[in-house]
Every structure is written in structure tokens, then in C-alpha cells.
Structure 1
Amino acid sequence: MSAALVGTERRPVPDTDLHELDGLDGTSAAAADDADPAALLLDRAALLVARRRAGFQPAQRDLPAPSRPDDRPAVSRAAAHRLARILAGEHPGTLPEWLTAAADRGLRVPGHLLPALLDRARGNPRIRGLVSTVGGHRARWLAGLNPDWAYLLDQAHTADTSDTADGAEIDPDIWEYGDPGGRRGYLAHLRARHPDRARDLLAGTWAQETPQDRIAFLTSFGADLTPGDEPFLETALDDPRREVRQTAADLLARIPGSALSARMARRATPCLTLGPHAGQLLVDPPTSCDARAQRDGVQLRPPDVAGERAWWLEELLARTPLSTWTGRLGTTPAQIVALDAGDWHQPVITGWARAAITQRDPTWARALLGEGILAGRLLAVLPLEERAAHAAGIVTNAALGVELVELLTEIAGPWSEELAAAALTRIVQAGRQYTGLGERLCAVAALRLPPELHERAEDLAEHPWPALRRLATTLRFRHDMLRELR
């Protein structure tokens, strides 16, 4: 390689142990001195490569232990063929619905489709739990053999507990020697069964964990927070990474009566007071964001669209218990939300909306839905039976714009008949006025409208607007897909 790089005029052709190959390159050893040095160099390099390849000794390793058997029935041949089409790129947005339907029916994916499915889930974290469920033991067995699929080990004991249904514990060595995905899966498994032990385990290795792992580990606490978690989360507020501090602060804000909630209430209370006139709210946002507020998760630098004082106010309100304002500003959330905050209306309402989402308060969520801020996430706070009616009203009255697309994207399907009718009406309106917006609405609705509407949508298959034709095609595809899984 060195002779080739600098040239044979500056470096001689090196000797090689090729006497046994004499003559194979067309140049005998005796005639090598008279050969063109450049040609001789390339000939010898080619022969060396050929000899190395011919003499390669394959590595020896034991075969891995076979996967545990999975006694769940596989999906039908038609459903498996449909999944193969989806993985090949046909209506790819229907994959989460296919996986959900298969999981709900206790079905598993055939083994030959698991590699492609695991590759797809590698780039889509939202479906990993479903893949772990429908893939079963064999998918997790494959994940243990391929580092590219190791992410599934993080889901193995959160989405499907069948591996430990007999009460057996996961090998504790995973925590000491496992990869990041396996360690997160072990902590989530332990947290679901012994939350105090899981917290103490993490506290013991906290100083050695990477910032990314710290955030992931803290996130696993979100589903089952207890007052006993508060001391540990308070120490996490001193972490040098801002993202870790904010994650810990968000968790502490969800613990009723936490010290962080009390500190935030003390900061936020002077900012909002009733004015001298009925229905008036006087707003005095913070003038600074000191180190103690930043420790509690308040982000110093605002987004580009917000001013500093408005942003700091929103951050304070988002982590202040909503009970702070009941009685102080009004008797009900609806009365408080109706107060006139003047020029500060936007940050006040947004801060309260974020607090309602974090604290899972349906009463405040109902009061804030009419403000048009974070509507999709506020709807998720409401009881399931209420969401459709509220959503239909919002969609009917919302302005045609990107916000309407974002709202409908946040509402999981299949939509109720009332919401579906409202959405289709807005789609037709958008198609007449704003073609691009209408196409985006069609793309969202195609994956969330009830697939039973495919018969009513058959007329759309001949519509001159391509977006509506694609909507009808997707509805038919989803209808057939779910029928095959039944």
C-alpha cells in the first residue's frame, strides 16, 4: 500500500512470499527485474488478496440457544400478506393500527416477517411496545442477537410481562453488565413491581450514568410516581444537564404537595391578582430568572416567538398546582379562565393548559378547551366518553389552518361518527379554499376515520380531487386489513 501511494519511482516494489505462485501473474520470478514495476506491484497485490481470501479460516462459534416456543396463534395468511405489503411501503401509516389490532386479539407475527418489522420499529419508537407484544419471545430472542434491534429489550418487560408471569425475576446482572436498552427494561420491570427498590438501585449508580440514560431512567418513573420519590428527584434538580433538571422538575410537579410545587406557587402567586374591575386579572410577570428558578426547571432562554417575561411566567404557571388559583382568583376553573388578562392572556392560558395536562386535571381541561391552545393534549385529559363530543365542537368552529391539522393529529382514531362528520365537512371546505391544507387534512383523516365509512367513501374514489381518492383507498385498505385480523 505504501509503495502504491508514493509510486514505484520513489519506492521499490517490496518482496513478497509468492514463490509458490510463480508464473500465475504472467511474470516469472526470474523476469521480475525486467518487468514494469507498476504492473508488477499491482499483480502481486492482486495475488496477495486472492491468497488471503482463499485461505480464510471461518470463525467458530456455538449456535445460540433456540427461542422459547410461543403458543399464541399466528395471524392468518391474508393478514400476514397484508403486513408484508405495509412493510414494503403500501399505506405505511396503517402499521400502528395493524399492530394494535393484532395485539388486542392475542395474535403473533409470523417469524419470517419479524426482521423487517424490527427494522421498521428501529426508526419508530412509538410502535416498539406493540412490536414487542406481537413479536413475542422470538422477537426478543432476535433482539438479543442483533445489536441493531437491542432497543426491543427496553420494551420486553413493559409492553409484555409474559416472560415473568410465573413470578420469576429478570437476571439482575442485566443492570450491571447489560446494554442501555436492557438496563432500561430491567429498571422499568423492577419499578412496576418494587418502586422503592428500583429508585434505590438507580440512586446507587446515578453518578456514573450518562445524561441520556438519566433522562430515560427518570422517564420510566412517570407512570407510578410516589411521595417517596421526592427526595431522589430533588437531588436530580442539581444535575449539570438542563434536560435532566427539567425532566425531574416535571415529575416533581406531578407529586401532590411536593416542595417544588410549593416553591413554584410562592413564585407565581404575586404574578396574578384580581383587578379593581369585575372580571379583570392583573398580571405582573417575573423580571428575572435566578439560579434557584432554573434549578427548579424553569428554562432561561425563551423560544424565538416569546419574550423573556412572558416565557418565565408561562414556565412558572405550568409547574404551579392549579389548586393555587381556586378560591384566590375564582370559585371554579371556568370563572378563572374567563378573566381578562389583557396583553398577557397568551402566556397565562398556555401556562394553565400545560399545568392541566401535567396534573391530569379534567375540570381545568374542560375550561381551557375553548381557548384553542394545546387542544389535542387537553382532550386526552378528559374521560374517554367525553372526548368525541368536545372534539367535534372544536373542529366545527376552528379556523381553517395548520392548527386544525395539528388538533386532528392529536385525536386518536377511530373517530366517533360526530367527529368524523365534522372533519369531513372541514376537509371539503379546505379543498375548495386551500388545496394544500385539504391534502394534509385528508392524510390525517384517512388513518383516523372509522374504516366502516369505506362504503360511504366509495363515491370519493371517482372524485376529481386526488387527495379524496387516496382517502377512500386508505379507508378500504384499513377495512380489509381489520377484517383479515378478525
Structure 2
Amino acid sequence: MKAEWSKTVQDLLIGTTRGGGSPTDLLADCAALGVAAFGATLPQEVAADPLPPAPPEPAALPRPAARAVLEAIMSVDDEVLLTEWCALAKAGNVVAEHRMLPALLALGTARPGLRAAVVEVLGTRGRWLAGTRPGWSWASGTSPLTEEVPLAEILDLPSAQRVRALRRKRRADPEGVGAFIAGEFETSRRSADRQVLISALETGLGPGDEELLEAALDDKAAAVHDEALRLLRKLPTSALAARATRRLNQGLQLTEDGFDVQTDGLWTEQADLDEQRDLMRDGSEKGVAGRIRAAAASVPPSYWTARLDTDDVKAANVLRRGPWAAALLRGVADQLGAAADPRPWAAVAAETLTGMEQLEMLAALPASVAEQAVVAVSVNWHYDLLDHACAQLPAPWSPETTRALLHRYAALPDPRWRSGRPPAVLLARGDADLLGANWEGLTRRWPENSLELEVLRLRIRLRESFAPPPDDSR
């Protein structure tokens, strides 16, 4: 057939006038051979059984207004808004409408970070639909999840999954996984594996982990040692905290200008082996300033309030004075999460930290504490630094935080590339009710009718769509 088709094409190119033959026969051959060579074949019959019917959905569906909001959210492709919609739907005991299920499953497949939110609103019919396609199996409850990997095989997973898998196991069984980690740490030869084991202890960290962490301080691998030291500093009653307290008492004296090194004290001499064991090996804690920073990073802020017999505000003001203020406050910045009131400590620590160090300090704080700290620290920040810090805060913010940051943004000059446009993170993560109440002020300060304002409109519609009707007796 291939040879016949080639000859027919040649005859067509030459033409019947020069090559002879019947035009009708040539065109008929072209039609027949062309279909035979390039036409599609009939599909083969498949003996597979058809899919079973979808089960009925016992859960309630959202009101039409909430369905319309979900469609709008999907069209603007906003992950924060979608997560908020899913959270409100879950709280209202409703699931997504069936015609939205394929789009939600496709989105969760493409963006694993959304899966935890999406799976809550799929319902019975969504889980059935997820079972019809291998790529959607994450939502069907039948996929081979990392949690199902036996504990003894977790260290064979790819490096990016090992710590997460161990922490999930640890969350479910703290004592059993803790014993497994201790046993594996003693026999593991690879430093990367030992570092993974130590890092997993951060979930459910407690006094029972101190013995293993103390042993890890003697590890020859710097990464293992530093990870163990980082976790030990989170235990306020550990032996490390006691050693640091003793060094601070011996090495520092209070003067009229703040804390200073005692002339005949601990830090006028080279660090002994015991103190070197309690210093980071990454180079950040060298010299007298580094040793002071290490000791300050190993005690909670309550050490300073107790030593000075005062509150957090006054203690922070004492530490900001003196020749070693920068070293002390850099250490205190690592302990903000343990402070009774982190705001004064964050404010004075920010005076000695670079912009990136301030962001790292805030990122390590719990969400509720981080909101207070950002408000306290950001008084003199420029736009970009404030924007980065706000992007680290989980949504939605409290009304108090939203109000404070709204005023902070409004007082700053807009970057040239965003002139007249509102801060996207403020409108996407701030309290929607408060922002809606300030709509007139927002549009006056940022007159550009941009996508950010559309997102805020959607957030306001979202809250309204899930609000109970006025005559609802629930």
C-alpha cells in the first residue's frame, strides 16, 4: 500500500496532462489510498466493567451564594481564599457541589499544599470520584500515604520526606517513636540520618528527649550537634539552661550602663571544652560576643526578669544598653516564644538585627505571638520588609492585628511599582469584617481598582454567604 500511495502522489504532481491516465481514476485512487493509509481505525471493544453509580451525598450542600463564591474563587486562582472557603464549609457541615468536584480534585493534585483543605469538602461523592483516576487517589483514602510506611523503613524514603514522615509518626505515638529514634541514633553511621532523627524530635519535644539530645552534642558531625543544640534551647528547665544560667551569672555584671563582662570572670578566658560543647559550630557563636549570645539563647526571658526583679518591658530596656547589648539581644531573639510578653523583647531585639534576621526571628514564633511581635517591631520598617513579615503570618489575622497593620501600611509610601494599589497580603489575610468596614478609607488611600480589591470583595461575599440567615434559629 505504501508503494501504491507513493506512485499516486507522484502521478498527482505530474498531472494527467503530461503523464496520461484518467483524472477520475487518479482522484479515486487518491481518495481510497489516502483513507486507507491515514484514516483512523475503529476502536477495539473493551471488556472492562463500567463504573458503579456514584453514591448519594448524605452531607448538605452550601447555599447558592456560597456556591457562586466558590466559582469566583476558582476563577481568580487564590489559594488563601480557597482555603478559607473550605474552612467555612467544614465549619458549616457542608460539602462542595458535585459539578465543582473535578476542578477541586485537579487543583489539589497540582498543588499538594491545598489537599488538606480540599479533602474536607469533597464529601462521599468526591471520594468516589477520586477513586476513578489514579492521579486523584490522594483524596480517595486508598493511596499509599507516607504515614503507612513502616517505621523501620522511613529512613529509606527520599530525604525531603523523612523528617515529615517521622514527625507524623511521632505525633501519633510520641513514646514509641522516641524509643525508635534513640535506638536508630546509636547505630546509624550516616550523619544525614542522625540529623533527620534529631530533627524529628521537635514534634512533641519534652524533657524526656533531653538525654538523647545531650548525647547528640558529642556527635562529630556539626549539623547533628547544631540541630540537637537548637532543640535543647527550647527546653527551659534543661541542664543546658542551667549551665547557661551559671555562665551568665559568672560572666556578666550589671552596671549603670547595662550588662558588662566581669574583668576577672568567665569570658575573659578561652572557652573550655564544656562551653565549646554548648556553642553552635556554624561559626555564629565565636569570640566573646558569640559566647554571650549562646548563653543568652539558652535561657528563657524569665531569667532576665528574675535576675533584675522586674517585668519584661523594663528588663528589655536594661539589655538594650551596654557594650554587649547586640550579643545579648541576638540570643534573646531565639527565645521570644518562651516570653510572657514577646513584644518588648522583639522591639529591642529588632534594633540589633538585620532585616532578614528579623524575619527569621518572627518566623520561629507561634502564630498568635508572631502577630503581636510584627505589630510591635514594624514601627520603623520600610514597605518591603513589612510586606515580607506579613506574608509569614497565617491567615486570617485578628481584628486588632488587621487594624494596626492597616494603619502601618497606610502611613508608608507606596513602592513606585505599586503606586495607588493596596497591599495584596493585607486584603487577602486581614480580618474581612474590619476591612469591609473600612472600605471607604481603603479605596481613598489606594484608588486603583485592582485585583486586590476584587479579592477583598470576594472575602466579604464569602463571609456573608456562610453567615446564618437572620431568621435562622440555630
C-alpha distance 382-101 of structure 1, shift in aligned 2 (>3 A): closer
> Is 1:442 the counterpart of 2:423 in the alignment?
yes
Q: Any unmatched runs of 5+ in structure 1?
A: 1-20, 28-49, 158-169
Question: Which residue matches 1:480?
Answer: 461
Q: CA deviation at 1:131?
A: 4.7
Q: What corresponds to 2:182 in structure 1? A: 203
Query: Deviation at 1:427?
Result: 2.9
2:412 matched residue in structure 1: 430
- Tell me the residue number matched to 1:176: 153
Do the aligned partners of 1:405 and 1:440 also contact (CA within 8 Å) in 2?
no
Q: 1:272 to 1:117 in 2, by over 3 A?
A: farther
2:252 to 272, 275, 279: 272
Amino acid aligned to 1:121: R
Alpha-carbon shift at residue 195 of structure 1 (Å): 1.6
The amino acid that maps onto 1:228 is G
Structure 2 residue corresponding to 1:117, chosen from 95, 104, 107: 107
- Which residue among 242, 245, 248 is the counterpart of 1:262? 242
Counterpart Cα distance in 1 of 2:142 and 2:220: 29
- The SS at the match of 2:428 is helix
CA shift, 1:469, in A, is 4.5
After TM superposition, the structure 1 = structure 2 runs for residues 185-200 of structure 1, keeping only pairs within 5 Å, are: 187-200=166-179
For 1:418-468, what per-residue CA distance to the aligned partner results, in whole angstroms no more than 9, with x for missing partners? Answer: 54444333333323x7545877971221123322233542575587743x7
Once residues 83 and 240 of structure 1 are traced to their aligned partners in structure 2, the CA distance between those partners, rounded to angstroms, is 54
Match of 1:361 among 339, 354, 360: 339
Deviation at 1:282, TM superposition (A): 0.6
Q: 1:226 to 1:286 in 2, by over 3 A?
A: farther
Task: With the length of structure 1 as denominator, give the TM-score of the two structures.
Answer: 0.63
Q: 1:37 aligns to what?
A: none
Residues 336 and 365 in structure 2, CA contact (< 8 A), matched pair in contact too: no
**Which of 318, 321, 339 is matched with 1:341 structurally?**
321
Say which SS state the counterpart of residue 295 (structure 2) adopts.
helix
How far residue 197 of structure 1 moved from its aligned partner, in angstroms, is 0.8
Task: Identify if the C-alpha distance between structure 1 residues 262 and 25 changes in structure 2 by more than 3 Å, giving closer, same or farther.
Answer: farther
Is 1:100 matched with 2:87?
yes
SS of residue paired to 1:255: coil
SS in 2 for 1:222: coil
Q: Which residue of 2 aligns with 1:246?
A: 226
> Does the residue aligned with 1:338 lie in a helix, a strand or coil?
helix
- Pair 1:271–1:75, CA change in 2 (3 A): farther
Where in structure 2 are there 5+ consecutive unaligned residues?
Answer: 8-36, 351-357, 468-474
Deviations 1:285-334 (CA, angstroms, capped at 9, x unpaired): 788778766654614324xxx99654553343212344544444444443
* SS of equivalent to 1:281: strand
SS in 2 for 1:342: coil
**Residue type matched to 1:282 in 2?**
D
In the alignment, the residues of structure 2 paired with residue 253 and residue 154 of structure 1 have an alpha-carbon distance, to the nearest angstrom, of 38
Once the two structures are superposed, residues 339-362 of structure 1 have per-residue CA deviations (whole angstroms, 9 ceiling, x without a partner) of: 2533432231231121132xx222
After superposition, where does 1:288-327 map in structure 2 within 5 Å?
296=278, 298-302=280-284, 310-327=289-306
Flag the 1:425–1:199 CA change in 2: closer, same or farther, 3 A.
Answer: closer
Residue 340 of structure 2 aligns with an amino acid whose one-letter code is P
Larger-Rg structure = 2
Letter of the 2:362 counterpart = R
1:374-413 equivalence runs, <5 A: 374=358, 377=362, 397-413=379-395
Note the alpha carbon deviations across 1:17-72, whole angstroms, 9 max, x for none.
xxxx8847859xxxxxxxxxxxxxxxxxxxxxx9xxx9xx9xx9999999999965
Q: How big is the shift at 1:218?
A: 4.4
Q: Provide the rounded CA distance (Å) in 2 between the counterparts of 1:69 and 1:244.
A: 53
The 5-angstrom pairing of residues 39-78 of structure 1 reads 73=60
Contact 1:443–1:471 (8 Å) recurs in 2: yes
8 Å CA contact 1:299, 1:312 repeated in 2: no
Question: Which has the bigger relative contact order, CA under 8 A and spacing at least 6?
Answer: 2
- The CA distance in 1 between the partners of 2:196 and 2:274, in whole Å, is 24
Which amino acid is the alignment partner of residue 439 of structure 2? Answer: A
Instruction: Provide closer, same or farther for how the CA distance between residues 341 and 228 of structure 1 changes in structure 2, counting only shifts above 3 A.
Output: same
Q: Is the 8 A contact 1:75 1:102 kept in 2?
A: yes
Percent pairwise identity: 23
**Alpha-carbon separation, structure 2, partners of 1:69 and 1:175:** 41
Q: Give the secondary structure class of the aligned counterpart of 2:260.
A: strand
Equivalent pair of 1:264/1:320 in contact (CA under 8 Å): yes
Q: Structure 1's 244 and 307: CA in aligned 2 closer, same or farther, altered over 3 A?
A: closer
Partner Cα distance (2:222, 2:398) in 1: 41
Summarize the Cα distance change of 1:342–1:247 in structure 2 as closer, same or farther, 3 Å threshold: same
Query: Which moves more between the two structures, 247-256 or 183-192?
Result: 183-192
Alignment match, 2:439: 457
TM-score (norm: length of structure 2): 0.64
Note the alpha carbon deviations across 1:270-290, whole angstroms, 9 max, x for none.
443212xx3521147788778
What is the count of residue pairs matched by the alignment?
Answer: 413
Counterpart code for 1:474:
V
Q: Which residue of 1 aligns with 2:10?
A: none
Partner of 2:28: none
Compute the displacement of 1:476 (Å).
0.6
The alignment partner of 1:336 has SS state of helix
SS in 1 for 2:235: coil
Q: 1:371 — aligned with what?
A: 348
Distance 1:65 1:183 in 2: 38
User: CA–CA distance in 2 between the matches of 1:74 and 1:461?
Assistant: 35
Could you say what secondary structure the match of 1:362 adopts? coil
Q: Is the 8 A contact 1:214 1:244 kept in 2?
A: yes
One-letter code aligned to 1:371: V
SS at match of 1:100: helix
